[in-house]
Amino acid sequence: MVHKKTVMNDADLTAFRVALMEWYQTHKRDLPWRNTCDPYAVWISEMMLQQTRVAQAQPYFERFMTRFPTVRVLADADIDEVLKLWEGLGYYARARNLHRAARRILDEHGGRIPDERDVIAQLPGIGPYSAAAILSIAYGKDEAVVDGNVIRVLVRLFLMTEPSDTPAFRRRAGEMAAFLLWPGRAADFNQAMMELGATICTPRSPRCAVCPVRHLCGTVARMRNPETLPCRRPRRARPHHAMTAGIILHNDRVLIVQRPMDGLLGGLWEFPGGRLQDGELPEEGFVREIRSTFGLEVGGLRYLAAIRHAFTHFEITLHGFLCEWISGERAYPSAVWVTETELAGFAFSSAHNRLMTAWRENATSAQLRLL
Ligand code: SF4
């Protein structure tokens, strides 16, 4: 529990709430999910906004809500179509979890998104943050939201200098947020805290001069540089993996494979290939993988591009090739041959989309064209 007197007295607490809420009512951005308290729309927007900036999420949200306007429509959809609409937004587990959760909501809750913490937390992809956001914004419950924006505001407001990426800190931040929360006004208050972090108390160049709560801010009072907060433990270097993938042409078609539904980029499609072994040249590794994993012989290899991509915990360099099928039957369950036109109907990861772009940009000569 947070002890009030060590954090903020009652007068300052009231002043903080009033100043924040008045500022929010005047300055909040007009965002499509703010025009509704439909729990389904709130749920979709909160899932999209995790790890994603508002400007990037907005067009995805509008397309998603147009195509899947209700829990039932989403539950009835094919996961491939859901992933296709999510393509480019990253963290694809969110899309798979939305789809799974929609089916559970339909089967177990009659199509209504649960309004109790213990029940909603059982749904796939609903963690403490999303549960608090849905319960407060859609159902008006007094649940405090703690996301990256809120943590940044809390840390600077209370001048919290310990590393912010520990479980103990997250617990403390949760207590602080619950302490500040305006009972009965959680929907707007939570959104105001997030909005302050997103638009004023930003990671770099925070706009303290126009901040509505600067008179209560510990960082400003002690003349500390807010950009140095939150503190984080030093990050370990991300491991790097060298991968290969190739666009294999055969009879006006190209081979693509679907990743297993569970795991990284689950359900997305990609061009066949695999990881390079130590000391192996990219073309050697590609041919070996195509032979051993896919049962194919290929020839006429052309190097297309080296594509670097960073995931949360590691980075890859994807060596991309263009080549032709020579012999063999595809010995891989999810592999299919498709035309170039049909490729547009499949959801690809960012790295493989860039490989496709490299192929098209290089396909200026007849020799490289598929069709
Ligand atoms: S005064 Fe500056 S550091 Fe403090 S909460 Fe406002 S923007 Fe953040």
In the chain the domains, ranked by start, together with CATH numbers, are 4-228 (1.10.340.30), 240-362 (3.90.79.10)
Given 46, 87, 195, 289, the catalytic residue? 46
3 state SS for the chain? CCCHHHHCCHHHHHHHHHHHHHHHHHHCCCCHHHHCCCHHHHHHHHHHHCCCCHHHHHHHHHHHHHHCCCHHHHHHCCHHHHHHHHCCCCCCHHHHHHHHHHHHHHHHHCCCCCCCHHHHCCCCCCCHHHHHHHHHHHHCCCCCCCCHHHHHHHHHHCCCCCCCCCHHHHHHHHHHHHHHCCCCCHHHHHHHHHHHHHHCCCCCCCCHHHCCCHHHCHHHHCCCCHHHCCCCCCCCCCCEEEEEEEEEEECCEEEEEECCCCCCCCCCEECCEEECCCCCCHHHHHHHHHHHCCCCEEEEEEEEEEEEEECCCCEEEEEEEEEEEEECCCCCCCEEEECCCHHHHCCECHHHHHHHHHHHHHCCCCCCCCC
For position 370, what pLDDT does the model report? 39
For position 1, what pLDDT does the model report? 53
Q: Binning pLDDT at 50, 70 and 90, where does residue 368 land?
A: very low
Q: What is the mean pLDDT of residues 149-174?
A: 94
How many angstroms separate the alpha carbon of residue 10 from the centre of ligand 1?
Answer: 20
* Closest alpha carbon to 244 in 318, 305, 332: 318
* Those residues with Cβ within 8 angstroms of residue 145's Cβ, 6 or more apart along the chain or in another chain: 129, 132, 133, 136, 177, 190, 193, 194
364 has pLDDT over 60: no
What percentage of residues in the chain have a pLDDT greater than 90? 85
For position 95, what pLDDT does the model report? 97
* Closest alpha carbon to 143 in 111, 184, 103, 108: 184
Pocket of ligand 1 (CB under 6 A): 153, 156-157, 200-201, 206, 208, 211, 213-214, 217, 219-220, 226
Q: What is the mean pLDDT of residues 25-45?
A: 94
Q: Whose CA is nearest to atom 2 of ligand 1?
A: 208
How many angstroms separate the alpha carbon of residue 15 from the centre of ligand 1?
Answer: 15
How many Å apart are CA 278 and CA 242, to the nearest integer?
Answer: 9
Instruction: Give the lowest-confidence range in 58-62, 243-247, 260-264.
Output: 260-264
pLDDT tens profile 75-103: 999 999 999 999 999 999 999 999 999 99
CA of 152, closest atom in ligand 1: 8
Specify the amino acid at residue 366: A
pLDDT tens profile 115-133: 999 999 999 999 999 999 9
How many angstroms separate the alpha carbon of residue 196 from the centre of ligand 1?
Answer: 9
How many Å apart are CA 283 and CA 174, to the nearest integer?
Answer: 51
For position 63, what pLDDT does the model report? 97
For position 237, what pLDDT does the model report? 87
How many Å apart are CA 291 and CA 288, to the nearest integer?
Answer: 5
Q: Binning pLDDT at 50, 70 and 90, where does residue 7 land?
A: confident
CA of 211, closest atom in ligand 1: 6
Which of the listed residues 158, 159, 220, 223 should we mutate to test ligand 1's pocket, taking the one with most ligand atoms within 8 A of CB? Answer: 220
286 has pLDDT over 60: yes
How many Å apart are CA 130 and CA 90, to the nearest integer?
Answer: 18
How many angstroms separate the alpha carbon of residue 127 from the centre of ligand 1?
Answer: 28
pLDDT tens profile 226-239: 999 999 888 788 99
pLDDT tens profile 341-354: 999 999 999 999 99
> Are 106 and 71 a contacting pair, CB within 8 Å?
yes
Q: Whose CA is nearest to atom 4 of ligand 1?
A: 217
Whether 46 sits among the annotated catalytic residues: the reply is yes
Q: Whose CA is nearest to atom 8 of ligand 1?
A: 201
For position 371, what pLDDT does the model report? 28
Q: What is the mean pLDDT of residues 294-313?
A: 93
CA of 207, closest atom in ligand 1: 7
Mean pLDDT of the chain: 93
Instruction: Give the lowest-confidence range in 14-18, 43-47, 51-55, 134-138.
Output: 51-55
Q: What is the mean pLDDT of residues 24-52?
A: 94
